[in-house]
Amino acid sequence: MMRYLLLILLFCSFQFRAQSRIEAIVLDAETRKPLEFVDVYNSKNYTSTNSDGRFEFTTNGDTIKFNRLGYVSKSFAISAIIGDTIYLNQAAESLDEVHLLDKGIYKKMIDHLEDNYPIHPYKERFFLRAIVEKDGHITKLADANGKLERQRLLGDLKTDQRPRKNYTIEIENLRKAEIREDDIEFIFPSFERYFDLSSLIVSLSDSVQVELSNYGDDLVKLYVHKEASEAYLIINTENYAVEESYIKIGYPDAEFETGKNTENRTLYNIFHSFYKKLPNEKYILIKSFHEAAIECKYENKMFTYIQRINYLSNDHFGNFEVNRNIRAKKDIFNVGTKYISGFWDDQNQLLLTKEMQAFIEKVKAGDSDFKIKSNF
């Protein structure tokens, strides 16, 4: 009996592979600057680099891949990785002459929108991070994990309208903290507002002039700029799908608007979105980023606020229930989900930077001179 049991144990030992855990940073090979939004993945697991270029990847697979549009992809055996730095080389980009958009590639992209993107309901799991900095210092942080059902991904190109009640949201885990030194409260956008903005597609008139350049295999980049604003699309020339969209809108002449006890003006908005093709031939929003800068006058003082929101999604078209526990119009910070330390310690999608770690420690320590809110 003991020999039989031993044979079973030996046999079962071959069914499992030890997990590998990798913590590293991805840099541009030429500039040595950190690269954000790099896909880090294999057939079993996925994550993405943060604003510091850092990632944490845990897998029982034996390979790891790195991919970022505009860069040459890399693939390694886990055992072959030495050190904690990965370098990616920029893909060759050749600039063509300025073109007038009439019936060219942009029109083909528009004509293929419904072929390339979901127009029927689908589900996904997500991680979302919203953060505010006041004059370079973090004052507010909200990390959320949950499930989302969309009725459709993209809105109408001209009006950006989507179906009413387009989003059903279930928040499963939340980590949030805020430190206020004065009576100024920075309000995050609602989930609905952010989800709408994160899947914007650049709308260009027929007569606009763009720079058209090759952007790697079967990809072209359409770039347009005007004064303080710029935008680009990375389009796949085989199926005319947008794989990356970037919009920056600057407001150099914006005037201050009077609020309850402050005067404010927006300096710029950035919307940066990445799309991925699934086996069902549909492109979904895999990750997105929003940044806005706001100047604020309060009691004869001037402050600059920077808001950043990151979104990562996975398990698209998954077979799971989404049980709504918040309204889509709810402010991202004002969700009542409890903090579960074990979940946030184990997850590897929203890594904390050193500044974020210091901010959280400051919140936990408490300070009677500040107004502190958190769910820790």
One-letter amino acid of 150: R
Quick check: 220 and 237 in contact, CB under 8 A?
yes
User: What are the pLDDT tens digits along the chain (376 aa)?
Assistant: 434 433 343 444 444 445 677 888 999 888 888 888 888 888 777 788 887 888 888 777 778 888 887 788 888 887 777 778 888 888 765 445 555 444 478 888 988 988 999 989 999 999 999 999 999 999 999 999 999 999 999 876 666 678 889 999 999 999 999 998 777 888 889 999 999 888 877 777 666 778 888 887 788 888 888 889 999 999 999 999 999 999 999 999 999 998 778 899 999 999 999 999 999 999 999 999 999 999 999 888 899 999 999 999 999 999 999 999 999 999 888 888 889 989 998 888 888 888 999 999 988 887 657 788 888 8
Domain boundary at 43, 64, 88, which? 88
Q: Element (H or E) spanning 359, and its range?
A: helix 354-365
Query: Token pair for residue 344?
Result: 């946030």
Count of CB atoms within 10 A of residue 376's CB?
11
Residues 138, 63 share a domain? no
pLDDT of amino acid 15 = 42
Residues 49, 115 share a domain? no
Residues 188, 50 share a domain? no
- C-alpha Rg value of the chain to the nearest Å: 23
Write down the residue that tokens 């989404």 correspond to: 322
331 secondary structure, DSSP code: B
Q: What is the number of domains present in the chain?
A: 2
Interior angle at CA 292, CA 290 and CA 296, nearest 5: 155
Query: Token pair for residue 225?
Result: 């700029």
Quick check: 271 and 197 in contact, CB under 8 A?
yes
- The CATH number covering residue 13 comes to 2.60.40.1120
pLDDT of amino acid 177 = 93
Residues 243, 174 share a domain? yes
Domain boundary at 88, 107, 139, which? 88
Residues 154, 81 share a domain? no
Residues 147, 33 share a domain? no
Closest CA to 24 of 74, 72, 71, 69: 74
Residues 356, 317 share a domain? yes
Closest CA to 130 of 170, 165, 177: 177
For residues 224 and 247, give the distance between their C-alpha atoms in angstroms, rounded to a whole number: 10
Quick check: 232 and 93 in contact, CB under 8 A?
no
Range of the domain at 59: 2-88
